[in-house]
Structure 1
């Protein structure tokens, strides 16, 4: 049976925000009892909440869950634990009532994994899911996980498979997307962090026949180190790794808009 961690996060959120308003911490044991979860399993729930706060640049809400020493456990990375009082003060003073529960999409039992699977296989669902999820932090997490699934956990340019360095790259940037385009896997590439940055800066792109295209294949903008070349000019013209199923390939309409944004038109093959 799949455990719905997002639904647990949905129930944990108001408990933690109420503690923040009351200026109180809560132990792992207390929270586990309230959720009906063994306290050792809370790390999965708290990981979702912590990631959301980090993505949205919110105060570190999970700093309120403490062990017997009165400090957060080892999974807490959202703030310097040596400045615990400072982080706790930020959490206590924040108006959490202004934020809708970011895990409300799971209130009816819908699992995070079900949404990811739907996004990775059915691009037409992106608009409905975006309306359901609403918050940017959760949406971007879903988008990345859907791309991980579609690209089988491998970078589209290099075949790198270290999950910690694989990122969701929007072809048409989030800021200029329509809401229904922000979770469309066809508007994304799974890239390592280096190529994500190069793509966002317009130094590398993807052609309509799905080849990697670098802005300086003739090396006029050097000097380049050998590792620079491996990550740039030596990839030029190579076919990118395709997602599965093939219907999840980058859509030409998104590529066109990206090419226009970065003025690639005169530099691409006809």
Structure 2
């Protein structure tokens, strides 16, 4: 295990959880005591790393853990929102703690919960947000060097899909319908790349700080994308998010990329 991860795990075990733990853990399959300890360390690390960037959340996450065969630590995960804020992880328990912590999945799925469920038509926004934030979380946790470089590399491999006259949002929706998930997710992430840039240009707090403010004022009351956008404008005291959404919906994707030199 890398020394910095081992040190962080020692720190976490020494500080203990908050009065209201960030999550409640539900074992859905049988795991050995050693596996439970390992997976518990991973989820504690992941939740604290995520909430350090985006939270604290105004609710307790409900985390469900299942076994699944795979050649990576977390072959599948998804969120459920019906009655509580849930993440379901399907894990291959043969991997070690460091490999779980280095995997992006938990940061991505927990980041989803920073926003309400926005519906199928706005999946590009939700997935773009979680994809953008997973690397911000991993960078702050010391797991990668540069979130900007990682996101740029991911989008660079998908950029050709956006060199057309449809808008960025419409193109991302089409790609989702074609099950080209990586292309849709990293195209959607460009909304947040540009939002970060515009906030900085206007002298505003960075994006994750705006999301932290959002948790406290609006996370439990908003139910659709327009409400989220209005709330983000309000907490940032700007019109960055509404104006950018209009461009993302209306400008031809190629023009949008040229405008922001993406």
TM-score class, shorter: under 0.3
Name the TM-score, length of structure 1 as normaliser.
0.27
Greater relative CO (CA pairs within 8 A, separation 6+): 2
Rg larger for:
1
Scaled by the length of structure 2, what TM-score is found? 0.27
Q: Where is the helix percentage greater, Structure 1 or Structure 2? A: 2
